[in-house]
Amino acid sequence: MSPPPSSTPSLAAVVRVLKDGIWDRCELIQLASGELRVRKTTKGTGPWGVNTLRAETHYLQALPPGAAEHFPAVLAAWGEKPEESNVGYEMPYFDGWRDGGEWVRSGTLYQKDADRLQEDLAQTVFRSLHRPEPARPALAAHVEEIIRGALEQLDRLPEFSELMRAGEIVLNGHALPGPERAFQALLAQGDLFRALAQAPCVLLHGDLLLENVLWRTNILAGKPRLILLDPVSVAGVALGPPIFDLVKYESYATGELYAMRTGLVEAARANDPGATPAYRYRVRWEDSAMRPFRLVDLHTRFRAAYTARHGEFDRNVYRLLDAYFALVMALNTTGLLRWARVLKATECLGEIAKH
């Protein structure tokens, strides 16, 4: 049995910052004993930051056997109580592993390795993690609430009100219903939210993107080749239909989410004199920073493994979750990055309404 986690941060020196994120900070620390750990602490910002880090800590501490070995152990955790604002935890440092985002950007991930990474990930997520859960969280209601709230907030911003209220728009040269109209149409129809509510529920990763996957090409004695990090979605989702993890994974692995996050996109109102408001949204694939995503395919094998395990999925449920993810982040970004999210969501909602 491993010792219970300590409830205070260890006395340690910060070796370096691994990531200074929007909501939290990840640091490599060294204890007086020489032991290296990673400490993750909240910055106490954003609508979800503190609670999500708490939920992440609980998730890691409550993992069922079989799944726990694919995640880091919690070595210390603090800020459990709702009134505490200093929340964080410590975990082992995986020296010699690289996260999938680093692998892609390094340009040293050959297709053979990319295939193996996808297979290792599929095996871990679909076999060890995605197990049926008796609990039925109201994911459909949560998705509906987030989309509705985001559209309302965007409607109040002068920059977006024309788009939000338009009955019809042109996006990349194609006519689509405006986002609010598309959303109202799919609510009135009801099938899609029913499909989401009735989908089987599993334990999800919740934020399954390559940056949250540590991987090495060879196995170190007794250690897994792949480790999952940073579970639970920004909005706190950790249980739901398996497609939730697929949509998130593919958004990053295809390069699109990476492009949206780093501004490698065009996303704006087009200077079109027509009566229908026109917009343009596209990833700047030609940019050299997108090259790694053009060179290796990080998603086809994973998709094939998904359908082998969970079966075919409803394209519109996929689009709905894609719109949901885009709108969650539209509320947490500004400028071009926000426009990209808003137009991505507009495209997804509009496509659902058309199909």
Ligand X SMILES: Nc1ncnc2c1ncn2[C@@H]1O[C@H](COP(=O)(O)OP(=O)(O)O)[C@@H](O)[C@H]1O
Q: Which residues bind ligand X (CB under 6 A)?
A: 18-19, 21, 24, 26, 38, 40, 72, 91, 93-94, 99, 211-212, 214, 229-230
Q: Is 230 near Mg ion (CB under 5 A)?
A: yes
Smaller CB distance to ligand X: residue 21 or 277? 21
Contact 284, 264 (CB under 8 A): yes
Q: Which is nearer to ligand X, 209 or 352 (CB)?
A: 209
Give, as ranges, the residues between 95 and 114 that touch Mg ion (CB under 5 A).
none
Distance, C-alpha 221 to centroid of its chain: 31
How far apart, in whole angstroms, are the C-alpha atoms of residue 82 and residue 80?
Answer: 7
Q: Which DSSP letter does residue 68 get?
A: G
CB closer to ligand X out of 128 and 212: 212
Q: Using an 8 Å Cβ cutoff, are 122 and 298 in contact?
A: no
Return the number of the residue (94 or 279) whose C-beta is nearest ligand X: 94
**What's the rounded Cα separation, in Å, for the pair 40 and 33?**
20
Examine residue 118 and tell whether it contacts Mg ion (CB under 5 A). Answer: no
Count the alpha carbons within 13 Å of 333 in the hemisphere toward its beta carbon.
18
24 binds Mg ion (CB under 5 A): no
Residues present in the chain in total: 355
Give the span between the Cα atoms of 27 and 20, in whole angstroms.
8
Q: Report the partner that residue 72 touches, choosing among Mg ion, ligand X, none (CB closer than 5 to 8 A by kind).
A: ligand X
Question: How wide is the angle at C-alpha 238 spanned by C-alphas 233 and 240, nearest 5°?
Answer: 115
Q: Which listed option, Mg ion, ligand X, none, makes contact with residue 21 (CB within 5 to 8 Å by class)? A: ligand X
- Residue number with CB closer to ligand X (207 or 347): 207
Q: Counting contacts by CB under 5 A, is residue 212 touching Mg ion?
A: yes
How far out from the chain centre does Cα 313 lie?
19
Q: Least Å distance between CB 328 and ligand X?
A: 14
Strands 278-283 and 168-171: parallel
- 130's contact among ligand X, Mg ion, none, with CB below 5 to 8 A by partner kind, is none
Q: In the complex, what is the shortest distance from the CB of residue 27 to ligand X, in angstroms, rounded to a whole number? A: 9
Residue ranges that bind Mg ion, judged by CB under 5 A: 211-212, 230
